Chains A and B, each alone.
Chain A
Amino acid sequence: MRGYFFHKSLRRSLVQLLDLFRTIYIARYNNEGYATKIIRVPLSFGPKEKAFYWQKSSGKKTDEILPIMAANVTSIDFDSARMANREQSIVISRDLTAKSLKMFKNAMPYNVGINLNIWALHIVDIDQILEQILPFFAPHNFIRVYFPELDARMDVKVILNNCTPDLTEDMAEEDWRAVKWTIAFTMQTYMMRPLIISTSSGSVESSGSYDEYQEIPPSASGSLPGLGFEMGSGGVTVLSSGIVEKIITRFFDSDLGWEDRGTETVFTSGANTSSIESMFMEGLGFDESAAVMYAYDVFGENTHD
């Protein structure tokens, strides 16, 4: 059973995408060609609530103040081409004292369609805005998204698909020209999966599937989700983790063996017992001294000269 979690995968990706366009400027030039004014183009994500717009416009003014840019989400599609091993765990941290791991499974790849709508009074304003965006996409660029609760950082590819004008060409008496363009982007982002807190203190074995994880509410206060947790928190835990102490007592019968000893004393394994076989099968922490002990323990052979 999964617990509540909310990593703000979509929101964080959107903010980082909008961050690309928050410093777009246009200039006004006088008749001699000298710039006389620099204007930063307002950017917002929309649509917002009517009440928001009403309050921001003091409830009265409905003037068009241009240029302006507004982004909106047009689609979210699964991207099978970027799908990786969904069962692969990415370890965030390990606490050797508590014998616990923090990890999450591979994120799910999704393509988010974004339209950046640009509205200006003059075509030359559109030219300036486009020229500050298009050169940086070939046709892609990268943004970075960090998830502090997962300690995970992703490079997200943003692809510029096309630019489409929406110009008023046929104008009736009461019409006047509108200069609007739309730039379509595809943001190849990821949907992060729940955090796994894996400990060795539990009594229930697990195969590592999400289905077997015990639900832990964000506040860890009981079986029901608690309150007061911060946005972005939440996770699950699995009992009986794969973290296993290397239980072989090292015997070093020569100076050479001492110098060649392994420095790792703890390793991770899929096994839930502290068995020497798991150490061999995993191949972790396996050194020359351990091989001697393994041969003696499993096969009763003394391979030490």
Chain B
Amino acid sequence: MPRRPNPGLTKPKWSLYDLNFNQEHDLVTGYLMEMTDIAGIEVLYYRRNEDTPYDPLYGEQTNTNYDEPITTKVLYDVGEEPNLWSSFGMFGGDILTCHIPQGTWRRDISQTLEPMIGDAIHIKWLDREFSVVHVDNDDRIFQLKKMIYILVLRPYRFSEDSESAAAIYTESVPMSAYGDNEWIETQSNSIDDYTDVDDSIYLR
């Protein structure tokens, strides 16, 4: 038997809180924006360029591009900021929860677009870069409206994807992880440099 629509489960429509010329709603929006402008942290927001094609098999972009950064302000709190040491080196496992009012977003970044997973944020005072790994809305805080974006941030992973991706990195040092490659080459040559053998059988 086909499932029949059940009109009894349809949510009621709230016509009470029409946003057009809703001064109370504008007041709350303005309050949130003002609060963020006063107490927020200045960041550079990089929107991930949606025109870059994906590899359909692996579902990834190796040429990830970002639009020009936009300065805005956000409020954030730090959930965890552990440093992890492994054979790969030292890495930050920070998890930040970032709040940006939708009014601030529309004023500074885009009137029509919303934040996306994959965008990047550079926190100026911290001089660190983060990826947006999750986007959500805050709870309904006024007139049943969600008025704040919540962004979950993790440390940005650099991988020489594009010029704009490299530009996110604000350090002046070359964008390459630490490696022993040159040292290994020197040491290996002092042990045996394979010059007296047909090294085509070796992996060189």
**What residues of chain A lie closer than 8 Å to B203, measured between beta carbons?**
20-21, 133, 136-137, 141
Q: Judge whether A45 and B180 touch: CB under 8 Å.
A: yes
Q: Is the C-beta of A292 less than 8 angstroms from some C-beta in chain B?
A: no
Q: How far is it, in angstroms, between the C-alpha of A47 and the C-alpha of B85 when the chains are bound?
A: 8
Q: Judge whether A15 and B171 touch: CB under 8 Å.
A: no
Q: Is the C-beta of A67 less than 8 angstroms from some C-beta in chain B?
A: yes
**What residues of chain B lie closer than 8 Å to A236, measured between beta carbons?**
none
Among A41, A66, A71, the residue within 8 A (CB) of B157 is A66
Q: Judge whether A15 and B188 touch: CB under 8 Å.
A: yes
What is the size category of the interface that chain A forms with chain B? 35 or more
Q: How far is it, in angstroms, between the C-alpha of A37 and the C-alpha of B176 when the chains are bound?
A: 13
Q: Which A residues between 209 and 240 are near B, CB-CB below 8 angstroms?
A: none
Q: Judge whether B62 and A124 touch: CB under 8 Å.
A: yes
A68 touching B184 in the complex, CB below 8 Å, given contacts A145-B191, A146-B192: no
Chain A interface SS verdict (over half): mixed
Q: Judge whether A44 and B87 touch: CB under 8 Å.
A: yes
B197 to chain A, nearest CB (A): 7
Q: Is the C-beta of B160 less than 8 angstroms from some C-beta in chain A?
A: yes
A174 touching B154 in the complex, CB below 8 Å, given contacts A42-B181, A45-B180: yes
Q: Judge whether A175 and B133 touch: CB under 8 Å.
A: yes
Q: Which B residues between 83 and 132 are near A, CB-CB below 8 angstroms?
A: 83, 85-92, 95, 128-129, 131
Q: Judge whether A124 and B58 touch: CB under 8 Å.
A: yes
**What residues of chain A lie closer than 8 Å to B83, measured between beta carbons?**
62
Among A20, A28, A47, A71, the residue within 8 A (CB) of B62 is A28
**What residues of chain B lie closer than 8 Å to A56, measured between beta carbons?**
89, 178
A16 touching B192 in the complex, CB below 8 Å, given contacts A50-B90, A53-B90, A123-B60: yes
Residue pairs across A and B with CB atoms within 8 Å: the count is 172
Q: Is the C-beta of A266 less than 8 angstroms from some C-beta in chain B?
A: no
Q: Give a binary string over A108-148; 1 marks a CB under 8 Å from any B CB, 0 the rest.
A: 00000000010111111100000001001100011111100
**What residues of chain A lie closer than 8 Å to B178, measured between beta carbons?**
42, 44, 56-57
A44 to chain B, nearest CB (A): 5
Q: Which A residues between 182 and 226 are near B, CB-CB below 8 angstroms?
A: none
Q: Judge whether A64 and B90 touch: CB under 8 Å.
A: no
Q: How far is it, in angstroms, between the C-alpha of A18 and the C-alpha of B156 when the chains are bound?
A: 28
**What residues of chain A lie closer than 8 Å to B154, measured between beta carbons?**
174, 176
Among A61, A119, A124, the residue within 8 A (CB) of B88 is A119
B202 to chain A, nearest CB (A): 6
Q: Is the C-beta of B70 less than 8 angstroms from some C-beta in chain A?
A: no
Q: How far is it, in angstroms, between the C-alpha of A189 and the C-alpha of B171 when the chains are bound?
A: 42
Q: Is the C-beta of A23 less than 8 angstroms from some C-beta in chain B?
A: yes
Q: Is the C-beta of A54 less than 8 angstroms from some C-beta in chain B?
A: yes
Q: Is the C-beta of A30 less than 8 angstroms from some C-beta in chain B?
A: yes
Q: Give a binary string over B166-204; 1 marks a CB under 8 Å from any A CB, 0 the rest.
A: 000101010111111100110110011010010001111
The chain A residue with its CB closest to the CB of B134 is: A173
**What residues of chain B lie closer than 8 Å to A29, measured between beta carbons?**
62-63
Q: How far is it, in angstroms, between the C-alpha of A20 and the C-alpha of B203 when the chains are bound?
A: 6
Q: Is the C-beta of B142 less than 8 angstroms from some C-beta in chain A?
A: no
Q: Is the C-beta of B53 less than 8 angstroms from some C-beta in chain A?
A: yes
**What residues of chain B lie closer than 8 Å to A31, measured between beta carbons?**
53, 63
Q: Judge whether B133 and A173 touch: CB under 8 Å.
A: yes
**What residues of chain A lie closer than 8 Å to B197, measured between beta carbons?**
144
**What residues of chain B lie closer than 8 Å to A124, measured between beta carbons?**
55, 58, 60, 62
Q: Judge whether A39 and B160 touch: CB under 8 Å.
A: yes
Q: Judge whether B87 and A117 touch: CB under 8 Å.
A: yes
Q: Judge whether B62 and A22 touch: CB under 8 Å.
A: no
Q: How far is it, in angstroms, between the C-alpha of A50 and the C-alpha of B91 when the chains are bound?
A: 11
Q: Which B residues between 49 and 89 are near A, CB-CB below 8 angstroms?
A: 53, 55, 58, 60, 62-63, 79, 83, 85-89
**What residues of chain B lie closer than 8 Å to A46, measured between beta carbons?**
86-89
Among B159, B179, B192, B202, the residue within 8 A (CB) of A121 is B159
Give 19 pairs: A residue, B residue, CB < 8 Å, sorted on A: A15-B184, A22-B188, A23-B204, A28-B62, A28-B63, A42-B179, A54-B90, A61-B171, A63-B91, A63-B92, A63-B156, A65-B157, A66-B157, A70-B88, A121-B157, A121-B159, A124-B62, A125-B62, A145-B191
Known A64-B91, A124-B58, A141-B201; further 10 A-B contacts with Cβ < 8 A:
A42-B178, A46-B88, A62-B90, A63-B128, A63-B169, A65-B157, A65-B158, A133-B203, A143-B202, A174-B79
